[in-house]
């Protein structure tokens, strides 16, 4: 468990490095286009963090993740874009050679994790600098991706074990020590894509990982796709709602209350916040609210109990539940208490605004 925790921490430290680095860059820039570019990379890093969390949560349930059709070079560029600037400062160049190949069915978050892990491994093998080369091309019924470096190489006796869980060639303490999980995770991800991964290496010359992914250009039918956490509205647009309402936000985390409040007040809603269940109940007794956002896991009061007390005060209360738990871990009694919109943390601004539009829009239509 300790080694697994260390591996997970390593994954998130990579993501946070990208977020912190590009945040610092954005704060020093005056050009709005450059700032937007930095923020776009930060947004993509955050999305990838969500994907990794979802993978960890679903791992024990042996559920797959949602696949979609996308260009493989977009996936590699999104991953490498997070660390390329840092690599350049350490004397490591990233070279790309992409053939004109069709989009394929893939999981964006998982494959970004693959390419980021391979890049980090290559960096550790080149402490004095060097080059990483990534190329793509068609190979019969597969898309072939070669990921090469000019690093120290892997001894022949280790090549046959390189994908075994907990096997590592990195020893010692510090950031360059290994848990032996990275390459086994990569192997599992490629297998889930119906692909293959091979490695060739020569000591003191470098290593090449070759990935073969099926050249499948259609996404699975909707009925075959597993459930996934709610994501940003694909159109990037928020459902419009002319009616404005009185909204109560109940969450023990101040910054969560603040971001939801800012999101809704900017679109004309009247918003009041409560930091505890008791405060929320007191406000409900004195005010009418068109909609409540309720954190289901607050320390002072059980979420289901609080929901029942809210309904006792206002039987017709519209409640949107915000929860960091997977939906299957929410209590079964929720289905007995009524039908609720559920937003999973972490959430986007669009999800909040669209939840308001759905609930208040449906209420207005029923009048």
Q: Give per-residue pLDDT as tens, 307-347.
A: 889 999 998 899 999 887 766 667 766 655 455 688 888 88
- Three-class SS of residue 146? strand
How many Cα atoms within 13 Å fall on the side-chain side of residue 256? Answer: 21
CB 199 within 8 A of CB 154: yes
Strand partners, 147: 134, 209
How are beta strands 130-139 and 142-149 bridged, if at all?
Answer: antiparallel
pTM, entire model: 0.48
Whether the pLDDT of residue 148 is over 90: the answer is yes
Q: What integer pLDDT is reported at residue 126 of this predicted model?
A: 95
CB 183 within 8 A of CB 163: yes
**Residue 161: CB partners within 8 Å, gap ≥ 6?**
167
Q: pLDDT of 203-251, one tens digit each?
A: 999 999 999 999 987 544 433 443 333 334 434 444 444 468 899 999 9
CB 78 within 8 A of CB 9: no
Name the residue among 292, 298, 270 with its Cα closest to residue 355. Answer: 292
Query: Which structural domains are found in the chain, ordered by start?
Result: 64-221 (3.30.565.10), 246-365 (3.40.50.2300)
How are beta strands 130-139 and 104-106 bridged, if at all?
Answer: unpaired
């Amino acid at each position: 468990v300790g080694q697994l925790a260390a591996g997970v921490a390593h994954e998130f430290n990579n993501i946070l490095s990208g977020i912190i680095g590009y945040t610092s860059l954005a704060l020093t820039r005056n050009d709005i286009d450059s700032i937007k570019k930095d923020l776009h990379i930060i947004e993509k890093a955050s999305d990838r963090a969500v994907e990794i969390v979802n993978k960890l949560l679903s791992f024990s349930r042996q559920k797959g993740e949602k696949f979609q059709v996308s260009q493989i070079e977009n996936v590699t560029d999104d991953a490498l874009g997070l660390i390329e600037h840092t690599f350049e400062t350490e004397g490591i160049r990233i070279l790309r050679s992409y053939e004109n190949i069709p989009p394929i069915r893939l999981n964006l978050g998982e494959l970004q994790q693959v390419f980021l892990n391979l890049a980090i491994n290559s960096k550790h093998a080149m402490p004095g600098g060097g080059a990483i080369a990534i190329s793509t091309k068609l190979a019969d019924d597969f898309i072939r991706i070669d990921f090469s470096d000019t690093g120290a190489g892997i001894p022949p006796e280790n090549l046959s074990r390189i994908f075994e869980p907990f096997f590592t060639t990195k020893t010692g303490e510090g950031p360059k020590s290994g848990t032996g999980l990275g390459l086994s995770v990569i192997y599992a991800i490629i297998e889930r894509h119906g692909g293959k991964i091979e490695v060739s290496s020569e000591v003191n010359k470098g290593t090449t990982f070759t990935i073969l992914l099926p050249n499948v250009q259609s996404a699975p039918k909707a009925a075959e796709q597993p459930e996934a956490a709610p994501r940003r509205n694909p159109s990037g647009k928020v459902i419009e709602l002319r009616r404005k309402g009185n909204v109560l936000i109940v969450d023990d985390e101040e910054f969560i209350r603040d971001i939801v409040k800012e999101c809704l007040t900017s679109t004309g809603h009247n918003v009041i916040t409560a930091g505890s269940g008791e405060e929320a109940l007191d406000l409900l007794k004195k005010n009418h609210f068109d909609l409540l956002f309720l954190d289901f896991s607050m320390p002072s009061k059980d979420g289901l109990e609080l929901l029942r007390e809210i309904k006792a005060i206002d039987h017709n209360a519209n409640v949107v539940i915000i929860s960091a738990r997977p939906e299957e871990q929410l209590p079964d009694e929720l289905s007995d208490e009524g039908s609720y919109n559920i937003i999973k943390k972490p959430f986007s601004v669009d999800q909040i605004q669209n939840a308001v539009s759905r609930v208040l829009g449906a209420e207005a239509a029923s009048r």
